[in-house]
Amino acid sequence: MTLTEKIELYSITLVKGAGWTVSITLLTFCIAVVLGLLFGAVKAYGGKQTYSSTFTLKETLSYVLARIAIIAINIYVEVFRGLPALAVLFILYFGLANVGIRLEPFTAAVMGLGLIGGAMLTEVFRAGFGAIHGGQREAALAVGMTPLGALQHIILPQTWRVTLPPIANYAIGLLKDTAIVSAIAAPEIMFFARNLVTRTFDTEIIYILVAILYFCLSFPLARLADRFEAKALEGAR
């Protein structure tokens, strides 16, 4: 088989893996953003209220639940920011299997990376919410907007501009970090590459193609992130 034929054959297989890589990246990103946005908002606004002896039972219950939620979120963030991604994947895929919970490799990969990403983006969004002057939220509430309405129409658009650069960097890093999910046999580029190497021993050719493929995926994503950031900055002027 000629070099050209090898490249063509290997590329077809690796492109199939690229489709799985993109799927894992998109699903993981969505989970991380949802968790980060929700938990970041709770951390930013849930702890601002101070307890008062004049609280009604409903207000006291709300205060206690908010405190419990913040403590739980802080534990979640510290745990998943402090654990290696590979350890989390092994716990979900191998560890849970020992107690009768068997996850598919794809599911375990998305859940594991999503939980880690959610912990990272929780702090990103918390910082983004903190960068917005509190008077804007108070003014929105004063004119009759609900807390959710103020968050949606006043706070979030400004927070988006602040958090876009780190979120974009996270997305690009996530695309490349999906390579580790091959350790639990989740289908993606590196999984297909390792299988090819095992069968053909053409290590150099295959991993050069892998590097080119990752670059072809990450470069457009970086340019897209730059465009979104430029539009966000234009909207701020």
CA distance 206 to 14: 9
Mean pLDDT of the chain: 87
The pLDDT tens digits of the residues spanning 117-153 come to 999 999 999 988 888 876 777 787 777 777 777 777 7
Residue type at 146 in one-letter notation? T
> Could you report the per-residue pLDDT of 70-109, keeping only the tens digit for each?
999 999 999 999 999 999 999 999 999 998 899 999 999 9
Estimate the share of the chain in helix, then strand, then coil, as percent rounded to the nearest 5: 85, 0, 15
Answer with the residue of higher pLDDT: 197 or 161: 197
191 has a pLDDT exceeding 90? yes
Residues making up the chain, counted from first to last:
237
Q: How confident is residue 180, by pLDDT bands cut at 50, 70 and 90?
A: very high
Summarize the confidence of residues 163-167 as an average pLDDT: 89
d(CA 1, CA 126): 56
Query: Could you report how far apart the first and last alpha carbons of the chain are, in Å?
Result: 59
The answer to whether 6 and 197 have CB atoms below 8 angstroms apart is: no
Least confident of 128-132, 189-193, 218-222: 128-132
**Residue predicted with more confidence, 65 or 94:** 94
Calpha distance 141→150 (Å, rounded): 7
DSSP assignment string, 21-54: HHHHHHHHHHHHHHHHHHHHHHHHHTT-PPP-TT
Structure tokens at 119: 């912990």
Instruction: Calculate mean pLDDT across residues 165-174.
Output: 91
Say which DSSP state 132 is in: S
Res. 158: pLDDT tops 90? no
Say what the pLDDT of residue 235 is. 57
Q: Closest by alpha carbon to 113, among 96, 134, 128, 93?
A: 93
Write out pLDDT tens, residues 14-58.
999 999 999 999 999 999 999 999 999 888 887 666 666 667 777
- The pLDDT of residue 237: 56
List the one residue out of 221, 237, 229 whose CA is nearest residue 161: 229
Question: What integer pLDDT is reported at residue 58 of this predicted model?
Answer: 77
- CB neighbour burial string for 195-214, b if at least 16 within 10 angstroms, e if fewer: ebbeeeebeeebeebbeebb
C-beta atoms surrounding 150 within 10 Å: 19
Q: Which H/E stretch holds residue 111?
A: helix 105-130
Domains of the chain and any CATH numbers: 3-236 (1.10.3720.10)
pLDDT, residue 71, reads 93
User: Which residue in the block uniquely carries the two structure tokens 């290696």?
Assistant: 84
* DSSP for residue 180: G
pLDDT in tens, 205-214: 999 999 999 9
Instruction: For residues 185 and 179, give the distance between their C-alpha atoms in angstroms, rounded to a whole number.
Output: 11
Closest to 77 in 3D by CA, of 118, 17, 108:
118
